[in-house]
Copies of this chain bind each other. A is one copy, B any other.
Amino acid sequence: MKASQFFISTLKEAPADAEITSHRLMMRAGLIKRLAAGIYTYMPMGLRVIRKVENIIREEMNRAGGIEMLMPVIQPADLWQETRRYDTMGPELMRVRDRHDKEFVVQPTSEEVVTDIARQELRSYKQLPKNFYHIQTKFRDERRPRFGIMRGREFTMKDAYSFDRSPEAAAVSYQRMYDAYCAIFNRLGLDYRAVRADTGAIGGDLSHEFQVIADTGEDALVYCPQSDYAANIELAEALPLLDARAAPTQALALTPTPGASTCADVAAFLKLPLQQTLKSLVLACDIPADEAAGTPARAQVVLLLLRGDHDMNEVKVGKLPGFEHGWRFAHLREIEAVFGSQPGYLGPVFAGGRPAGLRVIADRTVALMSDWVCGGNQVDTHYTGVNWGRDLPEPDLVADIRNVVEGDRSPDGAGLLAIQRGIEVGHVFYLGTKYAKAMNATFLDETGKPALMEMGCYGIGVTRLLGASIEQRHDARGIRWPVAMAPFSVVLCPIGMDRSEPVAQAAQQLYQQLLEAGVDVILDDRGERPGAMFADWELIGVPLRVVLSDRGLKEGQLEMQGRSDEEAVKIGADAALDAILSHLKSAA
């Protein structure tokens, strides 16, 4: 490609609404252009990167037995009603009516459509396993689109769906996709981690997220440096920090703690370690009406107890028994009705015994603590020296309800946990028969009887990958693409090409040689001055720059500099092709 025949549009300054580095650099390098909130045009430079990513994904998906198809963007609502996602997905699902007032959705993903195809097309166990995938435009009407294409509304996703005859066979399909994802992210030159993850709204039993490691990532990843344990913090199991409950050594006392309403305040006031305090959170669980018993829908108030330095894990809490029908934080009036006090001074110790209808759930660590401190259920007071059994009944439920923290023991017993930030770029799910059951997707098994298909689904955020890679690989001058993703592998920068015939000739000749060698090269024939030319290509992030100048050519030399190299190296003009090829090979 010659720059004069391409479209290059770099900016000195990023627009004010670009919050994070990757968004700023993508705008400045002219990779994307904003059309509306969370909706971007992929400019020619950006589309080249997308196509390279797509091709790598496609090659590895095909190698793993995936079969590519293309499902529609606009999908009829009735399929989405079969799985009830039309109702459960909320406003992120973009809905649209056609001229005949029929309901459709703009697809955020394609479980329904692919399952509809499978139930029509896959009739016998002999046709299984099958793995269908497509790379298609998706839409998710995010409430607050942000970070450019990292959390946009319109985006490109590769989604794959596997169909199997048994859970064992589905596990093989799952593992094959897991391996393919590793191959893809390796080829893309990313520093990533596969972590166990919650299956969330999509349902199912087992899932892994593929997270690109970056300090700016929205997700916290928990891993054990001594083993291969790795999980999203939403899922990572928090073991109790104590092995057994010690015997009480202090007497229960109601102590004034004027104005100290947080655990940190109380610990400081009482000159006790924060780890001696308890955090009391009050939730309300929905309990649906029971028509047979004649009871109306109501809310059950729940007191959640965490050690003062720990945070609640909403995903774990959501999975507790009794939380199936939904939950929220309790309203102030509900709290006051049960505790007779207000937040900041709440606790599980009641002078008159635990109120009827209050459920107490303690974190595993909390259940093993002795001589602890909690709110006194009166403003400006706390209890100290509290002990389970002696001062209050045991909790109704002991469970893992907190986020892991750095230094926690690894659930596999191999060492202590560490935490880093990540950007989710891929997700593999074992779905079981959730969708097959909802849509009656059956096949005839070996005995001729209908059986539900075992499914998996597997997504990669194609456009998000660009942002994730940039978050991981950039410097003050711009993007540092790996060769596999770069819009061009090599840029030839001839200096004074319009004035110097030898420079023009050498540039043209090397350009032709590189094209013939299959190198994705761009010749910058725009006639820009060296400073502006170099700054553009450093911003855009092309991995290798080759400079041709009159002075260099007189000495038979060119200058070559990798995007991450501090200095240029001189290479012989005659051996330039080999030098470039071997640099690219070592960088790939």
| Residues of A bordering B, CB below 8 Å | 5-7, 9, 33, 35-36, 39-44, 46-47, 50, 65, 67-76, 91-92, 94-96, 98-99, 102, 104, 106, 113, 116-117, 120-121, 130, 132, 136-137, 139, 141, 143, 153-154
CA distance A400 to B366 in the complex (A): 92
A sample of 5 more A-B contacts (CB under 8 A), given A7-B121, A41-B69, is A6-B67, A44-B67, A44-B69, A73-B106, A94-B98
Which residues of chain B have C-beta atoms less than 8 A from A117's C-beta?
33, 41
Residue pair A76, B42 in contact (C-beta under 8 Å): no
- A404: min CB distance to chain B, Å: 34
Which residues of chain B have C-beta atoms less than 8 A from A141's C-beta?
98-99
Residue pair B40, A68 in contact (C-beta under 8 Å): no
Known contacts A5-B65, A106-B106; A73/B72 CB under 8 A? no
Write the chain B residue with the least CB distance to A30: B121
Residue pair B65, A7 in contact (C-beta under 8 Å): no
A-B contact pairs, 14 of them (CB 8 A): A5-B67, A33-B120, A36-B72, A36-B75, A36-B76, A39-B75, A41-B69, A41-B113, A44-B67, A73-B154, A74-B106, A96-B96, A98-B153, A99-B143
Residue pair B70, A47 in contact (C-beta under 8 Å): yes
Residue pair B73, A137 in contact (C-beta under 8 Å): yes
CA distance A94 to B91 in the complex (A): 19
**CB < 8 Å neighbour of A96 from B35, B70, B106:** B106
CA distance A116 to B98 in the complex (A): 27
- A90: min CB distance to chain B, Å: 9
Residue pair A41, B70 in contact (C-beta under 8 Å): yes
**10 smallest beta-carbon distances between A and B, as pairs:** A42-B70, A91-B99, A96-B96, A36-B76, A44-B67, A41-B71, A39-B72, A99-B141, A7-B67, A44-B69
Which residues of chain B have C-beta atoms less than 8 A from A72's C-beta?
35-36, 39-41, 137, 154
Residue pair A74, B7 in contact (C-beta under 8 Å): no
CA distance A6 to B132 in the complex (A): 10
Which residues of chain B have C-beta atoms less than 8 A from A5's C-beta?
65, 67
- A173: min CB distance to chain B, Å: 14
- A9: min CB distance to chain B, Å: 6
CA distance A98 to B67 in the complex (A): 33
**CB < 8 Å neighbour of A70 from B7, B50, B74:** B50
**CB < 8 Å neighbour of A154 from B7, B41, B74:** B74
Known contacts A96-B94, A137-B137; A74/B39 CB under 8 A? yes
CA distance A72 to B46 in the complex (A): 13
CA distance A106 to B74 in the complex (A): 9
Residue pair A47, B69 in contact (C-beta under 8 Å): yes
- A272: min CB distance to chain B, Å: 48
- A242: min CB distance to chain B, Å: 47
CA distance A141 to B101 in the complex (A): 11
CA distance A116 to B33 in the complex (A): 11
- A65: min CB distance to chain B, Å: 6
Known contacts A72-B39, A137-B73; A130/B7 CB under 8 A? yes
**CB < 8 Å neighbour of A132 from B7, B69, B71, B139:** B7
Residue pair A36, B104 in contact (C-beta under 8 Å): yes
- A157: min CB distance to chain B, Å: 13
Known contacts A94-B98, A117-B41, A143-B99; A35/B67 CB under 8 A? no
Which residues of chain B have C-beta atoms less than 8 A from A44's C-beta?
67-69, 132
CA distance A76 to B154 in the complex (A): 12
- A512: min CB distance to chain B, Å: 17
CA distance A99 to B132 in the complex (A): 31
Residue pair B9, A74 in contact (C-beta under 8 Å): no
Which residues of chain B have C-beta atoms less than 8 A from A104's C-beta?
36
- A452: min CB distance to chain B, Å: 21
Which residues of chain B have C-beta atoms less than 8 A from A154's C-beta?
72-74
Most buried by B among A70, A71, A91: A70
CA distance A91 to B98 in the complex (A): 8
- A318: min CB distance to chain B, Å: 23
Residue pair B69, A42 in contact (C-beta under 8 Å): yes
- A408: min CB distance to chain B, Å: 39
CA distance A156 to B39 in the complex (A): 20
Which residues of chain B have C-beta atoms less than 8 A from A42's C-beta?
69-70
CA distance A320 to B582 in the complex (A): 69
- A123: min CB distance to chain B, Å: 10
Write the chain B residue with the least CB distance to A152: B72
